[in-house]
Amino acid sequence: MIIGLTGKNGAGKGEVAKYLQDRGFCYYSLSDVLREEAQKEGLAVSREVLVEMGNRLRRDLGPGALAEKIFSRLDPEKHYVIDSVRHPNEIQVLRRRSDFLLANVKAPERLRFERLRQRAREKDPVTFEEFLALEKREAVSENASDQQLDRAISMADVTLENTGPIKMLHDQVKEVLLDFSKKQNRPDWDEYFMGIAKVVALRSNCIKRKVAAVITKEKRIIATGYNGTPRGVKNCSEGGCPRCNAIDSSGKGLDECLCSHAEENAIVQSAYHGVCIKDSVLYTTFSPCLMCTKMIINAGIREVVFNVQYPMSETSLHLLRAAGVSIKQLPTASL
């Protein structure tokens, strides 16, 4: 999951980030992107420099530029906390991940000012009036590429009130994590196995089209296959199939193609290793051709789940239905 943090100066975003880091979350701050850019330009890092740098990057590269730089570094297998989210377009970029949640850390003005005074960073406002003036400058701007903190805060999914003992803040974060984890979208079994089939397709050595099939039984994989030249024959991508290497139009010269199909390979591999596939489910990235369809039926496979319909598969689908084999097409957007 990805927890984004927004909020006013001194609200306690750093404390929330530290709490999450202690619990295995990887930390990124959009401000760190600005520091990197400032250092590249040989500029002394200060709050004024970072704000100006952020406004310039958003103006030159787009309002979501800072988030784009961080987004490209995110590993889907890790949890992240991303600090200093201050612009609506940054939020839009991060929301491309369904596991993103934006938290606004909130505290009263006077309390936040006292916290800033206690941390005593260089160039932090000294008087309450200076503090309020800084807040106003950072909250809103008529320039769409400038920092828009108030608008970012209004887009938060949850608000964390940081007005009491630190344990109260930590308890709120814990509650948010537990609630958010319950809402995480897990792929269903069809999406899960089709996702694996898409990875298997990367092993294909055919230069015309990469296709893969996964055969499952009782929700476990018992065989996989991808298209390519037969065992012991030079790979298609190395010139092993003259038809494919001629780069002919799709559908032309199929009777001369030396490549075995993904479904064919998955079924043959099962026979080769003595694995029974009767009453199994076959997942394939493309709907099967007529030859593979006949093999599927005679092998006793009870269901075929496919992603993209092969251009010449109407006869195959009709034959599968006639033989009592269930057919299901998964929406591409769900994968």
Q: Which two tokens stand for residue 115?
A: 């916290």
287 touches 241 (CB < 8 A) = no
Bridge-based pairing of strands 220-226 and 212-217 is antiparallel
CB-based contacts of 269: which residues, under 8 Å, 6+ apart? 223, 224, 225, 275
| Paired tokens of 220 | 């476990």
Q: How far apart are CA 290 and CA 53, in angstroms?
A: 60
Active-site residue, selected from the candidate residues 37, 90, 138, 263:
263
263 is catalytic: yes
Residues 6+ away with beta carbon under 8 Å from 201 = 210, 211, 212, 226, 262, 285
| Amino acid identity at 10 | G
Residues involved in catalysis: 263
